[in-house]
Amino acid sequence: MFPALLPTYNRTDVAFVRGEGSYLFAEDGKRYLDFGAGIAVNAFGHANPKLVGALTQQAAKLWHTSNLYRVPGQESLSRKLVDNSFADTVFFTNSGTEATELAIKMARRYHFVNGAPDRFHIVSFEGAFHGRTIAAINAGGNEKYLEGFGPRMAGFDQVPLGDLDALKKVIGPHTAALLIEPIQGEGGVRTMTPEYLRALRNLCDDTGMLLIFDEIQTGVGRTGKFFAYDWLGFTPDIMTVAKGIGGGFPLGAVLATAEAAKGMTVGTHGTTYGGNPLAMAVGNAAIDLVLAPGFLDHVNKVANYLHQQLGALVAGHPAMFESVRGQGLMIGLKMKTPSADFIAAARANGLVVLPAGDNVVRILPPLTLSEEEAREGMDLLSKTASQMEAQKAAAQ
């Protein structure tokens, strides 16, 4: 019989039923330290009192009105985002992939209103992930996600990450924008040099292309700055945000300069749910938490500890680990042994970590992780590595 639930996921047989801060509790009562945060979503831990309060208060007042009317929460949250970023304007979505869609539409529309309607190609980078809608899988370029869904859509080009010559060959008068994650998430926590990203900015400036940063995973404090571009000393023209901004409530956003957004006039885009009062209540509370004095200092402190300890873990198990990657609390452990086995063994020990491409174990704890919880997580990772090595030695 076909499953009642569409079987597009190969799910792990565990059901979490409750969360508290950095911990998850499964149906059977077992407690887990959460180093996955629902894929960088639960940035403020589970059942955060501020977020729960914001949501439940709003829930008792008004859930939804539609975007035919003013939504006060959108006005305050867009103001906070504009005041604390490069952007002049914000549009709220329900998800990351919808933010990708709008970023693409906005870039194309920008050139359209500039009198260059043929300038609609978006260039992305191998290993990218931008979501699962038709445009987003075409931008992502992952064959596995494209297969069987019709012909490749016109207007998407892809080049190897880090190869400026390949990029220069592909761009031309038809290129509207470059679309890139400042650190690739699903692709395996792949970082690039600031010089490379700067070269992309310069190319855009020289040719009139727009630079779109996909900060759906890197944004909202994940890398130790409000946004990852804050490490770089320059800014994108358009940026997509989701995941952490809602702390677990479905919320995404597109941020843009007034110039990049100038084609998006009345009627050019819309959404029924995007920016609804429930999402805005949570989003406003979440942004207030990230921007509170000391919050990002805490993220960087815990992150530095983890990077240092993970470096030691890798050095201590050279047959198992290759390297530590990433920035802030977006961390990848590049494995030499199968990452799926390590993830399962860690889970048996009460630690949730995530898979990613390139045989990487992804570590994305809540940004509110305490130093003591970070130590506990390191103990569990170290215990898992030692157990697996002992088992392997016994089998030989």
Ligand X SMILES: *Cc1c(COP(=O)(O)O)cnc(C)c1O
The footprint of ligand X (CB under 6 A) covers 95-97, 100, 129-131, 181, 185-186, 214, 216-217, 242-243
Q: Which is nearer to ligand X, 73 or 252 (CB)?
A: 252
Q: Which is nearer to ligand X, 119 or 325 (CB)?
A: 325
Q: Which is nearer to ligand X, 119 or 243 (CB)?
A: 243
For residue 334, give Cα distances in angstroms to 118, 127, 190, 284, 339: 41, 15, 10, 36, 8
Question: How many C-beta atoms surround the C-beta of residue 29 within 10 A?
Answer: 8
**HSE toward the beta carbon, residue 308, CA cutoff 13 A:** 9
Strand partners, 256: 89, 238
CB-based contact 121:157 (threshold 8 Å)? yes
Q: Which is nearer to ligand X, 157 or 214 (CB)?
A: 214
Q: Which residue is nearest to ligand X (CB)?
A: 96
Q: Which is nearer to ligand X, 216 or 329 (CB)?
A: 216
Q: Which is nearer to ligand X, 100 or 327 (CB)?
A: 100
Question: Which pair of tokens denotes residue 55?
Answer: 């949501």
Rounded to a whole number of angstroms, the minimum distance from the CB of residue 130 to ligand X is 5
Q: Which is nearer to ligand X, 85 or 95 (CB)?
A: 95
Rounded to a whole number of angstroms, the minimum distance from the CB of residue 185 to ligand X is 4
Residues identified as active-site: 129, 214, 243
Rounded to a whole number of angstroms, the minimum distance from the CB of residue 42 to ligand X is 14
DSSP sequence for 20-52: EBTEEEETT--EEEESSHHHHT-TT-BT-HHHH
Rounded to a whole number of angstroms, the minimum distance from the CB of residue 104 to ligand X is 12
CB-based contact 322:314 (threshold 8 Å)? yes
DSSP sequence for 283-324: HHHHHHHHHSTTHHHHHHHHHHHHHHHHHHHHHH-TTTEEEE
Question: How many C-beta atoms surround the C-beta of residue 295 within 10 A?
Answer: 16
CB-based contact 45:247 (threshold 8 Å)? no
The 3-state DSSP composition of the chain as helix, strand, coil percent (nearest 5) reads 40, 20, 40
What totals of helices (H) and strands (E) does the chain contain, helices first? Answer: 12, 17
CB-based contact 339:311 (threshold 8 Å)? no
Residue 10 CA to residue 217 CA, distance in Å, equals: 22
Rounded to a whole number of angstroms, the minimum distance from the CB of residue 217 to ligand X is 3
Rounded to a whole number of angstroms, the minimum distance from the CB of residue 117 to ligand X is 27
Q: Between the CA atoms of 247, 251, 252 and 258, what dihedral angle is there, to the nearest 10 degrees? A: -110
Residue 132 CA to residue 303 CA, distance in Å, equals: 30
For residue 232, give Cα distances in angstroms to 83, 198, 229, 238, 307: 18, 8, 5, 15, 20
Rounded to a whole number of angstroms, the minimum distance from the CB of residue 152 to ligand X is 19
Q: Which is nearer to ligand X, 180 or 385 (CB)?
A: 180
Rounded to a whole number of angstroms, the minimum distance from the CB of residue 343 to ligand X is 18
